[in-house]
Structure 1
């Protein structure tokens, strides 16, 4: 139940990606249309009693909304202050963003410093070096940054998801549903009305958690980004490891993974059970046996997932899956080599995209500052699309194609009358694949080999298809020339006859 809730919450982040893409497109439009202006306005202000009953697109060095915007607001500036009301969504990009007023829809913000003191009726997404939430967010709050803070008056209606160097929730802050965080350190002293999940190098629990608490603690590691200025607020001081203070109250179960036993305060109240799960490295060293039922269930889930996706793939594109399998059968060494090369190539392309986007952003930072955010956004979206597409392919297609081929060979040898049923061949092959992949060490090598074979077979099949296309084009051109030559010859012989008659 706990993990199913987590999956549903993480699946809900798809809206966050769409909102972020909307911000990138909005800022790109602002940058490309206004960056070429001779003089960027110093100030742009919507005065206190003014009502603008339409969408607003602004770019200036300083933007202040004191009045009311009746639609969507898309703003790019060095400093943005919203003291009034934006009745719809707000897309904001600046050095500093301060929301003291009200945003009636969702807020998507990219900045160095973000402070939400007012109210956001929908979801709030902030990507910044420091993010301070000290107001009300009606929906989800999703944060990415170096220092993340839920201050004393923060009230979040639904979930909080954070990724960064540190997260601190102070006494008085309230999260209406679940809290999730991944980073280096976390100090949680506020109230979480459902479950809390955190993975960090140092975690301290001081607050009230009405549901379950699941914590993973490992070695603390910091990512130092060169030339990054000091954050506007200092991160919390959290000792290494996991500590539960006397003031902590946990209404459900407390489950944690840590190299050391958690430090539990004598007055800390935990309604459910307290379970320390061993780390993976500890299981290998101490020889703690893996739960057979859990391992079997995990492999059963893997089989069901591959069978569902495989039935769609084999049902819609059976010849494509067979083509990949034949390529592996005919050219196994080449498929393996080209598969490994493809993995390296995709990694190199991802690094190249990030490097080019970074270099262009630095160059535009000194020349065309309005294009910095669009370039970074397009680079991030391109890398995200590349890695997601590659990950989906690697997770399903090679395993399904190889399992289908292997199952077909087995069925043809033992039950030839069943070979016409593709789903039987697929299921037989998947059972064999999942069984081998579950073997420690050998299964990992086997899975990696299957992935390389599938990628290489795809590359060789595509190259062979292009070569056939070129050959067909050359044959058609040759046929056209053969058809044209008799016509030219006929024209050449008819011309002298006409000349003789005329003479």
Structure 2
């Protein structure tokens, strides 16, 4: 009962407050103007080619337009995107703008931050930003007052005014070109793009109230009369390291030795197990998806089997000891240890060399022929040819790990499928009735 009463009271209070909650307004058209004698309650969303705001908005202003000129009072913040933006007046919260060219006039008063992204940003003398300035673009000319920090990443910048705390900026003085010709910036009616000197320049009467941190290939220009209260830190970009020709030769020889090693180990496997190599490659070529899925199962099974084989070293002697056959316990221990070493060596060999050899033979067979390869000579020829592709692919930085993993999965999966197919085929042949030949 108490819960129902609480819900009813909350519902009545919400009804009483409905008329007091300002609604958002949506405006659109070719040209949208909010006159100086107009006051809008709540947020205003405008989509137009040209927008001019001279009145008062007791909320946020969100604009998407080619031109935006704000000279009134915005109690909230501004979020705007367009070609050119001219800001005047008073702003209660942060302004976030993205455009081609932006200008903050001398009469502007921002009580919070300015976050901007544009080709050019100019803050006139007399403009005041009570928070931070965060800017990314080609150039910046700062003549006004920024009470807190300035964080910027530009090609060039000039500081004439005041930065209350830290100035942290990244510039690039390599590009010595000025602003683009006017024909590339047509229909600029509100903002004139200034000419900014390359690099970072702190002019006379400029004040930096905290630390100056700049990253640039050239040293900052600080005119006489400029004041930097905190320390100055110059971060020079690292020069690209040119690779020594000797390192390239050493890398080439290293890959050549790697190719020769894999080729020798692959030839050894082909000589010793030609049927296994050919059958595994056949399964990968004929059943690639099944081989890949089987590899996902076979790799962990082979590792589990390693633990089982290693456990035989203890299990066999214990079994003979339990049967009081002490003479066989020692011999069983030696046999189990030899089997474990043999299995571990074979597994390591297949992981390191066998998977690469099987993958290379598969690549060579795909290129040379679709028919099964049974002779040792053709297996070696496919190995030598496909191994070139394997070594080249494993030299690619972001592709190396993927090639290694794919080779291991396909090799183990193809071997597992070949063994299973051979097992079932052999059993079916044994169970098939003999055909009487007259």
When normalised by structure 1's length, the TM-score is 0.43
Q: Which structure has the greater CA radius of gyration?
A: 2
